[in-house]
Structure 1
Amino acid sequence: MEDKKKLPLEGLRVIDASTVLAGPMLATYLGDFGAEVIKVEHPAGDPLRNAGSHKDGESLEWKLVSRNKKPITLNFSTPKGQELFHQLAETADIVITNFRPQTLAKWNITYESLAKNNPGLILVKVSGFGEDGPYKERPGFGTLAEAMSGFAQVNGFPDRGPVLPSFALADYATAMMGAYATMVAVYERDHSEDGKGQSIDLPIYEALMGMLGNQVMEYDQLGVIPGRKGNRTGWTAPRNLYETQDGKWLAISGTSPAIVERIFKAIGREELLADPKFATNQARLQHADELEAIIADWMKQFPQEEILERFIRFEATIAPVYNVKEIMEDPHFIHRNNIVEVPDAHFGKVKMLNAAPKLSRTPGEIRHAGLELGSSNEAVYEELGLTPAEIEELRNGGII
């Protein structure tokens, strides 16, 4: 029998003291690759347990976001709860919070207090607007970041108003940037002479703002304020979604001259390469309406499957617009094990997206879905030296 491979972040302890999504997903990404993640919740439970779709009274969102974690309960607003949290932080490499600065200060949860007996600690502070500046005390969620970062302004169609994403884009962007920043800090700590940690100021708006391309330089140098372009970009043409004869949709993108040549050949319009209106990318952008109409008219003459086969034969870039059912049935995704079935305390097993990206020697792994409230209380608090009787007393007193 083959020995179980060691996960790359085994030995790293993370205290996830954040709520809802951005901070918790940051911890989730670390947990997928082997970090021990202790999920700290108020005794009433994280609001995420009441969010999203439910089955038999159980939040499916919780099961996804809290996978691979050890849930414990703790009331920060009490002196005893703060004392226990500091003891827990002494055992950790990383602590993640997402409360406003004034709230953390009220609870005596600061980098200085947490690192006093654990100088190697890395504290990640997720917030709406950051640790300083005129907005620092404002409550902030991903929706606000999606508005203020410039995303909503450029998302949608020119003849309509700004559009927010239908999923938690800013939170997931923050989680990914936060996981990256956390591992940068871990690397720096482990390779520094003094082994000291540091705090990470991670406002949600900065994470999403950094993903919106070159809008700052374009405004600075050209005075351009980007507008809504629908399914197009200001980079390349053609780039759009096209409806097929059978009412399905396809996406194509002509990101390089060679790909554009293949697209024109695939639609039987190779002569467009010699047309000055379509010979270069800048020319195609200037005549995008005409070019998109040519491609759209051609797409409407054939069913999706026939178009896919033709584009693949010409090695032109194309992809179908999928719904989740089609995602789960796609042979490529199945072959790559992109969706896995994992153990779940309530439903036996549930399917979710697998850990990504894939590391060749030490890939990530989803060991279980999100667990019951406080299900790791005994194990974690006994490790801190508490007896079963003391744990029960804390529970009765509303501390845990």
Structure 2
Amino acid sequence: MSAAERRRWPEPDPGDPPAAGPLVGLKVLELATVLAGPGAGRLLADLGADVVKVEHPDRPDPTRAMGFPAPDGGPSLLWRITARNKVLRTADLKTDGGLEAVLALAAEADVLIENFRPGTLERLGLAPDVLWEANPTLVITRVTGFGQDGPHAGRPGFATIAEAMSGFADINGSPDGPPVLPPIALTDELTAVVAAYATMAAVHAGVGQVVDVSLLDSLFSFMGHNWAAYAADGTLQPRMGSELPYSVPRNAYETADGRWVALSASADTVAARVATMVGLGDDERLRSFAGRVAHRAELDAAVAAFIAERTLDEVLTAFDAADAAVAPIYSMADVAEDPHFVERDATVTVDGIAMPGLLARFSETPGRIRWAGRDERGRPAG
């Protein structure tokens, strides 16, 4: 194979739907496995980027076998979503041929996404300086557990570790129970969004650079004012179940017919309408955030009693009349029956696999889910 042939950027099969979206023409090389790095690649691919995912020929991405199985017996549902819209190739970076092939792809790419431990890319012969010799404007997005430097940089990084160390798990759970980890891949998915956002900011800058994204930084940045409160006077948010320390009422409540609703009254005007509805409208103590927090137990008990005496439909009707925010707590079965998800194309079925739709909608350059993550491993990159 000639050098020119090796440098030809892989294209989808002729029968595949064409790319669509604001990122059409952007070339992304993905050297990442599992969720955060590949999740960033998926978000870019959904908006039209040409994403070429390279897997090891003998050690494919573990996501292929992770999570719930696909009904057709192929790779997992998680893989079908995470690898959607991507062209697949294989290469062993520890061989001369595999390294040469990936270097050739990187020379044609606009973005390279990798999630090796810090230093691994360099040891493989793909250090940023090497990549920039052939492609000076390449954006190299590096997704790790702890970042490219710092005392923890070399440690194995998983979402669970970030959820533990960011302070998230410490405030999650019931007051008398243990810290609780999220039951979904929360940090991986969040970091994917952060990495995609940061990558596009770097592309916009138009210069070759490293984008350093970590699981820990991503989740910690979403901890809101918890760090500021601690730094100010040592305040630590306690575990409060579904409640918030600074907004009352905010909780999950059971209805008379055994359903659950979630309620948030995070504005004084809304809280006043809720207080009136549950019989506490004349209580001057409840007119401010501080007053409601100080009398949390009394207000929350009144709301709980009001809801417990009514069916779900009656609760929704009453809160709608009061122009207050309440919603039934859905399972996926409930999602399937809500027409809002259908009208908004929140879910789509591609290649027989149901999956979430596009994360954002563009009025003039909408993205497109062209195919689900594929079963075949793809041709060797070289």
Query: Which amino acid is 1:18 matched to?
Result: A
Shift of 1:374: 2.6
Unaligned runs of 5+ in 2: 1-17
1:288-299 to structure 2, matched below 5 A, reads 288-299=296-307
Matching of residue 251 in structure 1 with residue 262 in structure 2: yes
Distance 1:152 1:87 in 2: 43
1:348-367 to structure 2, matched below 5 A, reads 349-367=352-370
Match of 1:51 among 66, 70, 73: 66
Give the structure 1 partner of residue 146 of structure 2.
129
Give the structure 2 partner of residue 38 of structure 1.
52
Matching of residue 153 in structure 1 with residue 161 in structure 2: no
Distance 1:39 1:266 in 2: 55
**Cα contact 2:145–2:216 (8 A) shared by 1:** yes
CA RMSD between the two structures: 1.5
Match of 2:251 among 234, 237, 240: 240
Shift of 1:266: 3.6
Matching of residue 23 in structure 1 with residue 23 in structure 2: no
Matching of residue 117 in structure 1 with residue 134 in structure 2: yes
Report the secondary structure of 2:290's partner residue: helix
Match of 1:314 among 291, 300, 322: 322
Report the secondary structure of 1:58's partner residue: coil
Go from structure 1 to structure 2 and tell me whether the alpha carbon gap of 1:51 and 1:5 turns closer, same or farther (over 3 Å shift).
closer
Shift of 1:6: 4.4
Distance 2:258 2:57 in 1: 50
Report the secondary structure of 1:116's partner residue: helix
Distance 1:119 1:5 in 2: 26
Distance 1:322 1:266 in 2: 24
Distance 2:348 2:376 in 1: 24
Query: Which amino acid is 1:86 matched to?
Result: L
Give the structure 2 partner of residue 171 of structure 1.
188
**Cα contact 1:120–1:197 (8 A) shared by 2:** yes
Shift of 1:22: 0.3
Query: Which amino acid is 1:7 matched to?
Result: G
Report the secondary structure of 1:90's partner residue: helix
Give the structure 2 partner of residue 371 of structure 1.
374
Distance 2:198 2:19 in 1: 26
Query: Which amino acid is 1:257 matched to?
Result: D
Distance 2:178 2:349 in 1: 40
**Cα contact 2:19–2:368 (8 A) shared by 1:** no
Report the secondary structure of 1:368's partner residue: coil
Query: Which amino acid is 1:46 matched to?
Result: D
1:1-400 to structure 2, matched below 5 A, reads 6-44=20-58, 45-55=60-70, 56-189=73-206, 196-267=207-278, 269=279, 272-342=280-350, 344=351, 349-375=352-378, 377=379, 381=381
Shift of 1:257: 1.2
**Cα contact 2:75–2:375 (8 A) shared by 1:** no
Structure 1, residues 115-167: CA drift from partner, whole Å, max 9, x if none? 11000100001111111111111111111001001100011111111111111
- Runs of 4+ aligned structure 1 residues displaced above 2 Å come to 264-267, 372-375
Shift of 1:5: 9.2
Query: Which amino acid is 1:207 matched to?
Result: S
**Cα contact 1:356–1:364 (8 A) shared by 2:** no
Report the secondary structure of 2:323's partner residue: coil
Report the secondary structure of 1:372's partner residue: coil
Go from structure 1 to structure 2 and tell me whether the alpha carbon gap of 1:357 and 1:7 turns closer, same or farther (over 3 Å shift).
same
Distance 2:19 2:315 in 1: 43
Distance 1:285 1:174 in 2: 33
Shift of 1:57: 4.5
Report the secondary structure of 2:336's partner residue: helix
Report the secondary structure of 1:101's partner residue: coil
Report the secondary structure of 2:119's partner residue: helix
Shift of 1:85: 0.9
Distance 2:332 2:104 in 1: 44
Aligned length: 362
Structure 1, residues 58-78: CA drift from partner, whole Å, max 9, x if none? 311100111111111111122
Query: Which amino acid is 2:337 matched to?
Result: E
Unaligned runs of 5+ in 1: 190-195, 382-390, 392-400
Percent identity (aligned): 40
Report the secondary structure of 2:285's partner residue: coil
Is the deviation greater in 313-322 or in 73-82? 73-82
Go from structure 1 to structure 2 and tell me whether the alpha carbon gap of 1:288 and 1:154 turns closer, same or farther (over 3 Å shift).
same
Distance 2:291 2:330 in 1: 31
Distance 2:327 2:295 in 1: 24
**Cα contact 1:263–1:317 (8 A) shared by 2:** no
Shift of 1:226: 1.8
Report the secondary structure of 1:289's partner residue: helix
Query: Which amino acid is 1:352 matched to?
Result: M
Report the secondary structure of 2:238's partner residue: coil
Distance 1:262 1:359 in 2: 36
Shift of 1:320: 0.5
Shift of 1:79: 2.5
Query: Which amino acid is 2:191 matched to?
Result: T
The alignment's TM-score, normalised by the length of structure 2, stands at: 0.92
Query: Which amino acid is 1:145 matched to?
Result: A
